[in-house]
Structure 1
Amino acid sequence: MIDALAILAVLILVLYTAWQLFSLAAWRRVVRQPAPDSNSALPTIALLVPFRNEAENLPALAASLLAQDYSGGLELIFIDDHSSDHGATLLPAGVTLLHLADYLKGKPVIAHKKAALTYAITSTEADVIITTDADCYWPADRVSCIAAAFAAGADVVLGPVLIAPADSFCNAYQALDMAAYQFLTAATARQGRPALANGANFAFRRQLFNAVGGYQGVDHLPSGDDVLLLHKFYQPDLWPATKQVSVSKSIAPPVTHYVAGAAVTTRPVNGWLALWRQRLRWAGKAGNYNNAKLSFAQALAFSLSAAIVISFISLPLHLRPRLVLVLWAGKALIDLICLWPVMIRFGQNKAMKWYPLASVVYPFFLFGVGTAALLGFTVKWKGRH
């Protein structure tokens, strides 16, 4: 029995390694592709910022967005989601401020962020929608990078999101984890079926959003305004039949670009407990994904982490002590091979000094979050479930 379990664990490691190498090949093709080159007219853009109690972050974000060098027409829309602080009063002239309460008019809602984004999208005629978060920073050329991809024919643009600063182990762990998300995002986008998106840097044609019925069908879920919407874009059978309209060259699949040069930064959450809550919230929506690649990748990573944890727990029983080393070292090595070029590409290689410790913690953290999600545990995030 023990031998059979050991063999199964090693087979999972081999499969995980093969998957990572396959993704690495796709990542390399992404970073080698030339920047979009198009003489087409630049699209008009609405950049949306839903926020709730973000007084600390709004001034810096607004300043970075107002400093964008984009000349094609940029509308900045901030949506106040029932804030109890004075953040809305700190917004400068030149931005549009909406209040979600005006849109809801007392109606109950579960997915506040989706409702806020829907409100803003219905309030603009811009060709392209970009979403971001209040705790982000946008260098001056980022909107132009995204717009160039749309001018070249993209319908969806996935932009990198980086964690900064990575000045402690907890923060560096988040930076490494986010880099792994970017690795999978870019790889699956290159393979033609993007699996992940991050609402801090997510762009799509407004026409496409309307074609799929917006968040209809996923608006009962409090999170997932990015990934679940992305999956709807690639599931034409989920589109409302009366709203199927031509998008770019065809209805499906949309043309997707991962623009590595359009990275924005976001602040790490404060401490391990907050990180646990955030990741458990993310994991809680996994059962609603409509992407086989993402489900496979998550199941594979969780299975390998579970094998490492179970093997470690079995050490006092003297059950295959070498198995722990083989599984851990194998995963740590292949993850290092994949993460190193990502961190170099985004200028975060200094965070790699924390990688040895992070590689020890990661299987236990992932196993704990995954197990809690499978058992149905939920947490509050920013005062809401």
Structure 2
Amino acid sequence: MLFDFSPAIWLLLACVLVQLYYAAYYFLPFANRPPEPEPDEAAAQPVSVLVCAHNELENLRRLLPLLLQQEYPAGFEIVLIDDRSSDDTFLYVQQLVQYYPNVRLVTIDRTPAGLAPKKYALTLGIKTARYPQLLFTDADCIPATNHWLSRMQHGFRQPADMVLGYSAYAPEEGFLNKLIRFETLLTGGQYLSFAWRGKPYMGVGRNLAYTRQVFTSTKGFASHIRSLSGDDDLLVQDAVARGARVAVVAEPGAHTLSEPSQTWTAWWRQKRRHLSAGRRYRLSDRLRLGNFIGSNLLFYGVSAAALFSRPDWIPLAGLWVVRTAMVCFTYQRLSRRLDDPLPVALLPVLDVVYFFYYFALGMSLFLYRTLRWK
């Protein structure tokens, strides 16, 4: 009988339709949107760029000169927060302070018991900053261009209280690097396109801007000051709940570039920290993300079971062809929009590995919740 398929095939079809919805409503319209306008220098305002560093001397030697070279006529300061470093970070930044009046140093000797070290350090840095507009990056990042600052600050004139940017990882040899970049592309596609559709739920601290008023309205990191993760996404959650307006700046000139983890273990620990904040998201955001991630995980799980049913092989193959074509087309368009290219032929493989890796991470957090920080 025509269309007399097993329940497994109908379930797989439902999963594919859910994923098609996300591609058609969120990812592809965002990927195909026109380029953002050039920044209006006449309307620019001074900005404070904040960098928190813990034993990051070599990274700071690379980052700080690039920040000082930013082309931003409105003026800016760099607030370097030395968070309990035992290397020569203090001496290096002190030398810069003598030559560059817009470089300022905040030194943290100790973190009060029970508080998240980075959030405590950022709080003191924000209190020290001179200007109401704040732009954040990490010590192990670099701006993609000398116009990073001006492009990110242009987002405030949409108008907005928070600006979400994209932070890519440097391409290197090896499968792990490609998987890390795929995960970054997929995550970026989610939070940027959702925000563009008016559903902001997170940002990344490697490339994030907000006003001092936003930080004050959320009482800083007060709601999650004891949680190691969430200095970026949980702050966005709190700010949006209080009515903050969020803009997206996704032009390649506004990106930052980071060094990826070199080992599977290091990446595992990093992703555990990031994923742990998700349980604090608003219910609507958890459902929106859960539908997307769950439909992908369910598709792979049911597909594996359907392989043992010979009558399901033909419709299973058809659904795999449709979904694979969708994955390749959608993620290729996202990678082009975000200037973060990956081999198209490898995208289906990366998709399979990533979602099984995500499932393993979720199980790990459920069974073992202890996290590590620097």
Per the TM superposition, whether the score is higher than 0.5 is yes
Once the two structures are TM-superposed, the CA of residue 15 in structure 1 deviates from its matched residue by: 1.0
Alignment of 1:63-78 (within 5 A): 63-78=65-80
Once the two structures are TM-superposed, the CA of residue 267 in structure 1 deviates from its matched residue by: 1.0
Question: How far apart, CA to CA, are the structure 1 residues paired with 2:56 and 2:12?
Answer: 45
Question: How far apart, CA to CA, are the structure 1 residues paired with 2:313 and 2:52?
Answer: 50
- Partner residue of 1:247? none
Q: Secondary structure at the match of 1:296?
A: helix
Once the two structures are TM-superposed, the CA of residue 321 in structure 1 deviates from its matched residue by: 5.6
Question: How far apart, CA to CA, are the structure 1 residues paired with 2:66 and 2:155?
Answer: 21
Letter of the aligned partner of 1:130 in structure 2? L
Question: How far apart, CA to CA, are the structure 2 residues paired with 1:152 and 1:293?
Answer: 24
Question: How far apart, CA to CA, are the structure 1 residues paired with 2:348 and 2:164?
Answer: 29
Once the two structures are TM-superposed, the CA of residue 228 in structure 1 deviates from its matched residue by: 0.6
Residues 206/10 of structure 1: CA separation in 2 closer, same or farther (3 Å cut): same
Once the two structures are TM-superposed, the CA of residue 152 in structure 1 deviates from its matched residue by: 4.7
- Partner residue of 1:145? 151
CA contact (8 A) 1:159 1:202 kept: yes
Q: Secondary structure at the match of 1:270?
A: coil
Once the two structures are TM-superposed, the CA of residue 265 in structure 1 deviates from its matched residue by: 0.7
Question: How far apart, CA to CA, are the structure 2 residues paired with 1:140 and 1:36?
Answer: 14
Aligned counterpart in structure 2 of residue 43 of structure 1, from 42, 45, 70: 45
Matched, 1:168 2:171: no
- Partner residue of 1:338? 330
Question: How far apart, CA to CA, are the structure 2 residues paired with 1:22 and 1:158?
Answer: 20
- Partner residue of 1:369? 361
Give per-residue Cα distances to partners, 1:227-275, cap 9 Å, x unaligned.
1111111112xxxxxxxxxxxxxxx342423342411111111122211
Alignment of 1:230-379 (within 5 A): 230-236=236-242, 252-260=243-251, 261-290=253-282, 292-293=284-285, 295-309=287-301, 311-312=303-304, 315=307, 329-352=321-344, 354-379=346-371
Aligned counterpart in structure 1 of residue 218 of structure 2, from 212, 226, 230: 212
Aligned counterpart in structure 2 of residue 54 of structure 1, from 56, 62, 79: 56
Once the two structures are TM-superposed, the CA of residue 165 in structure 1 deviates from its matched residue by: 2.2
Residues 101/318 of structure 1: CA separation in 2 closer, same or farther (3 Å cut): farther
- Partner residue of 1:125? 130
Residues 375/316 of structure 1: CA separation in 2 closer, same or farther (3 Å cut): farther
- Partner residue of 1:115? 120
Once the two structures are TM-superposed, the CA of residue 362 in structure 1 deviates from its matched residue by: 1.8
Q: Secondary structure at the match of 2:336?
A: helix
CA contact (8 A) 2:50 2:81 kept: yes
* Cα RMSD, aligned residues only: 2.7
Residues 284/66 of structure 1: CA separation in 2 closer, same or farther (3 Å cut): same
Q: Secondary structure at the match of 1:18?
A: helix
- Partner residue of 2:24? 21
Q: Secondary structure at the match of 1:89?
A: helix
Question: How far apart, CA to CA, are the structure 1 residues paired with 2:316 and 2:118?
Answer: 42
Matched residues, number: 362
Once the two structures are TM-superposed, the CA of residue 78 in structure 1 deviates from its matched residue by: 1.3
Question: How far apart, CA to CA, are the structure 1 residues paired with 2:350 and 2:151?
Answer: 32
Matched, 1:81 2:83: yes
Once the two structures are TM-superposed, the CA of residue 38 in structure 1 deviates from its matched residue by: 4.6
CA contact (8 A) 2:165 2:207 kept: yes
Residues 135/253 of structure 1: CA separation in 2 closer, same or farther (3 Å cut): closer
Gaps of 5+ in 2: none
Instruction: Using the TM superposition, name which of 75-84 and 331-340 deviates more.
Output: 331-340
Residues 307/39 of structure 1: CA separation in 2 closer, same or farther (3 Å cut): closer
- Partner residue of 1:244? none
Letter of the aligned partner of 2:11 in structure 1? L
Alignment of 1:191-206 (within 5 A): 191-206=197-212
CA contact (8 A) 2:48 2:78 kept: yes
Once the two structures are TM-superposed, the CA of residue 338 in structure 1 deviates from its matched residue by: 1.8
Instruction: Using the TM superposition, name which of 321-330 and 296-305 deviates more.
Output: 321-330
Instruction: Using the TM superposition, name which of 252-261 and 167-176 deviates more.
Output: 252-261
